[in-house]
Structure 1
């Protein structure tokens, strides 16, 4: 039963795969648009870790041709194709009516914490991060959970607002909402996720406002961060503030905001496909 119908508490994604196959079959039979390009000028959006790989498996055209806009933009899994698919930023909105509230952070000179992370031990990277840095260095505020005596005076957001670098390790999958949170709080993101295609890389130079650290280099994390000249850090943080507008949601879309950036990435992907066919 659970392979064909939704059953509460079930872990199978088969009903969603069947639904997607049947839906594409329906629209391709009812309308002419899908069949013009076998789905190449269509896109779908999925931000759950496992939705992209499993929901397309029963429909070849959906899997092979359609532009997949995914938060889990991991090139190692064989699902996300660089140059065709779109990497979505993973965002968390505290208020739908006031999506840009509480952004910003302390000036660079007042950020007393070198690096900060707090989060659950999902995936392969975070346990290694905590093993080497959890509670072992005052400059590296690395927690599984911020101790209660600390949160009374400095909560999660205040830590980000007071840190130079915000550590963004992958969880079960490569993406993390911490990347966008860091940008909101004007903290330079430190991304630890091999094989991750960063959002909007068709338009943004991530090397200008973030640090990418290989998973194998987690034991050297403090060394890597301290080796960055202060002038370079100041420039990166300034660039974080400049790109912030590209990651902001608004109740009504604003030019160059995250809504328009996503559509630009989808458009750019389709242009690339057409150009490759013409060649």
Structure 2
């Protein structure tokens, strides 16, 4: 069975990737003028070597205009720790912050945030549990099941090499392209391989072949439980509309408070061996709708999903900061006398 989970029809005359463009640009200016973050001093130096997105976010934050040395004027508090930190050490870190500063206990950590590339799991320790349940987690996309709480947590847009010479007026040669991990949904993939409208490569294919096939395809297929989901952003940049074959809604996409992902991608639930219905869904997307989605993809990738050094207005770093700014109004618990 294949069910089309969500394909919205944009009423706008021109492609727009935003949930609300007016709200974003108005609030963005307010954020730049008022948003302040206090960083607790780490116990020892550390970095995010081998993790480009986390490393770039961390270094951009440390150099940003948003920092303040006066915790009294801070909207949010950043808790820095190494990605190798154990649960026991996290609990000890929170306990030290609770004892040495007055800010954690005001909200039980709800106005704090931390960076953990893979996300942290639940713990029986009170301090680690408050960090998990209350503080805002910033992590890489995608996040392992159980390590992401949708109403508060944020994911970083994956770093990708922007395609500068993409011709959106050139008609694609293939209906869809899949970079396959060689083991997930084999029945479906075998059927796709027999249909010339689809192109399937294994993940070990050279980057040049990957980019060539992405740019020649209308839709790029992604299996939620197999393949490299971080390449969704690269597909968007290349003008290939992402199509995610999933078994449940995806709640950890980057910039979900900003981008209207239903206009950037297709989300399709598919059982193994349903290539016929999958093809029917893809061919059912009219050219006008496809052109609008492709245009929205280009607008999003060219501005808000791109990382820069130093950060540029409205780029990926500033959009993550905007998502943090939206979460600055934490519930403050009154202290019992």
Q: Is the 8 A contact 2:180 2:226 kept in 1?
A: no
Partner Cα distance (1:57, 1:33) in 2: 22
Within-5 A mapping of 1:255-266:
255-266=313-324
Match 1:226 to one of 250, 266, 283: 283
Question: How big is the shift at 1:78?
Answer: 4.8
Measure the CA separation in 2 of the matches of 1:250 and 1:42: 25
**Are the structure 2 counterparts of residues 121 and 17 from structure 1 closer, same or farther at C-alpha, using a change threshold of 3 Å?**
farther
Q: Is the 8 A contact 1:130 1:144 kept in 2?
A: no
Q: Quick check: 1:63 aligned with 2:118?
A: no
> What aligned pairs does 1:30-69 form with structure 2 within 5 A after superposition?
30-48=100-118, 51-53=119-121, 58=125, 59-69=128-138
Stretches of structure 2 that go unaligned for 5 or more consecutive residues are: 1-82
How many residues were matched structurally?
244
The 2-side partners of 1:231 and 1:120 are apart by 32
Alignment of 1:148-167 (within 5 A): 155-167=209-221
2 CA distance for matches of 1:127 and 1:21? Answer: 43
Instruction: Please give the residue correspondences for 1:169-180 in structure 2 after superposition, counting only pairs within 5 Å.
Output: 169-171=223-225, 176-180=229-233
- State the TM-score, normalized to the length of structure 1: 0.75
Match for residue 210 of structure 1?
265
Equivalent position SS for 2:86: helix
SS state of the match for residue 204, structure 1?
coil
Rounded to whole Å, the distance in 2 between the matches of 1:274 and 1:217 is 45
Query: Are 2:91 and 1:27 aligned?
Result: no
Could you list the runs of 4 or more consecutive aligned residues of structure 1 that deviate by over 4 angstroms after TM superposition?
A: 72-75
2:174 equivalent among 94, 113, 128: 113
Question: Is the partner of 2:281 in helix, strand or coil?
Answer: helix
Secondary structure in structure 2 of the residue aligned to 1:23: helix
The correspondence for 1:144, drawn from 193, 202, 205, is 202
Q: In 2 relative to 1, CA 119–44 (structure 1 residues): closer, same or farther, beyond 3 Å?
A: farther
What's the secondary structure of 2:313's corresponding residue? coil
* Structure 1 position 267, deviation (Å): 1.9
The match for 1:239 is 296
Higher relative contact order (CA 8 A, sep 6+): 2
Pairs within 5 Å for 1:88-127: 88-89=156-157, 91-93=158-160, 100-103=161-164, 105-121=166-182, 126-127=185-186
Query: In structure 1, what is the Cα distance between the partners aligned to 2:324 and 2:182?
Result: 33
* TM, length-normalised to structure 2: 0.63
Q: Distance in 2 between matches of 1:57 and 1:113?
A: 51
**Structure 1, residues 50-90: CA drift from partner, whole Å, max 9, x if none?**
x4326x66412112211122335679x4543322222333x
CA RMSD of aligned residues (A): 3.1
Where does residue 43 of structure 2 map in the other structure? Answer: none
Distance 1:268 1:131, change over 3 A: farther
Q: Of Structure 1 and Structure 2, which has the larger fraction of its residues in helix? A: 1
Q: 1:225 to 1:129 in 2, by over 3 A?
A: same
Which 5+ residue runs of structure 1 have no aligned equivalent?
Answer: 1-12, 94-99
Are the counterparts in 2 of residues 113 and 141 from structure 1 also a CA contact under 8 Å? Answer: yes
